[in-house]
Amino acid sequence: MIARQSIQGSIVDSEPSKHLLTEAALAVYVRRTPISEKTMAADHLPATASIEDAVTILRDLGYVIIDELVPPEVMDKIQQEVDPYMPEVLFGNDNFLGKQTKRVGSLIARSPTCRDLVMNQLVLGITSKLLERASSYQVHLTQLIELAPGSPAQKLHQDELVWDMYDFPTDYHLQCNTLWAMTDYTEEMGATRIVPRSQEAGKLAKFSFEDTIPAVMKRGSVLIYTGKVYHGAGENKSNRIRQALNLTYCVGWVRQEENQYLSCPIEVARTLPEDLLKLMGYRTGSFALGYIRDFEDPMVAIRDDGEKRIVGTLEVKNMVQSEATSTFLEGIN
Ligand SMILES: O=C(O)CCC(=O)C(=O)O
Ligand SMILES: [Fe+2]
């Protein structure tokens, strides 16, 4: 339950249907509240939250935090699975990747426990709603982000810029992202900073530190944010390492940031459940996107049982959500 909270004299109600800050209250809150107090109860939901409540906040603020969605033991296991790879991982080679930040990828192949987070039902429910105008969505990248003490703040950005900075319409979401707190996420440790309600600001917007709030959360919690909201890693002023699992999803018709077919060796892919494989991209992303050989389903490369399966508009019919595609499909099958 969200507590009643006093913000600059205005009371934000605790009932789930009313827990959003008004536009005016948020503007005042973001501009005037001392940084140390800038964590809003209104942007946090409990692990029992419904998909609808989470999506309402996500669409409104550009992000939402689900508190302690998994127990700390899950993070312990992921840590153990990823630890062997850490010594070889280099720091970033520019200020955006972070010269005191390590990024460890291929988590579907390297961390069996991480697969459960990728498939988390609440996160997938939220993603599917946010990206509902596309026929399908897929895994975009899997990455452990580790900020060493002293790591400076990252430039505020929209993750959507990865697609060549294309100016997508503000009402078309291509991406739904998560940052799972592997360690506690305090402001001092460099909790991700977000500019609430910046998702319609456009590609050329400039925000400063004062416009941001830190996504403070406990280990096992998850920050979910759209590809359009401005954000960046905070400065790690503490003497502790800050870790987060960046597991992100994008619509099925764009190129994935982390190449899932090459990041996960085919021998490992062959052991994975079909749902996860489809999410990684072993399916068509819309009509003809991603077929192999003679218009065959990419899944046959994994199963390799000699059976040919031709893909066509029938597949799309099962997954289609956009009005334009439905109209086009009329009369084809
Ligand atoms: O590590 C973080 O807090 C955010 C990282 C990020 O936004 C990015 O690398 O795109
Ligand atoms: Fe980012």
Domains along the chain?
Answer: 5-251 (2.60.120.620), 283-329 (no CATH)
Which atom of ligand 1 is nearest the CA belonging to 147?
1
Determine which residue's CA is closest to atom 10 belonging to ligand 1. Answer: 159
**Average pLDDT of 60-78?**
97
d(CA 203, CA 280): 28
What is the Å distance from ligand 1's center to 54 Cα? Answer: 21
Per-residue confidence (pLDDT) for residue 30, from 0 to 100: 52
Which contiguous run of DSSP H or E holds residue 139?
A: strand 137-147
216 and 187 in contact (C-beta within 8 Å)?
yes
Per-residue confidence (pLDDT) for residue 12, from 0 to 100: 32
d(CA 285, CA 316): 8
How does residue 328 score in pLDDT terms, banded at 50, 70 and 90?
A: confident
How does residue 326 score in pLDDT terms, banded at 50, 70 and 90?
A: confident
Per-residue confidence (pLDDT) for residue 320, from 0 to 100: 63
Q: Give the DSSP letter of residue 263.
A: H
Per-residue confidence (pLDDT) for residue 4, from 0 to 100: 29
d(CA 208, CA 155): 10
On average, the pLDDT of the chain sits at 88
How does residue 2 score in pLDDT terms, banded at 50, 70 and 90?
A: very low
What DSSP string describes 58-70? HHHHSEEEETT-S
Determine which residue's CA is closest to atom 7 belonging to ligand 1. Answer: 232
Identify which of 192, 193, 198, 250 to mutate to test ligand 1's pocket (most ligand atoms within 8 A of the CB): 192
313 and 332 in contact (C-beta within 8 Å)?
yes
Question: By three-state DSSP, how is residue 127 classified?
Answer: helix
Which atom of ligand 1 is nearest the CA belonging to 159?
10
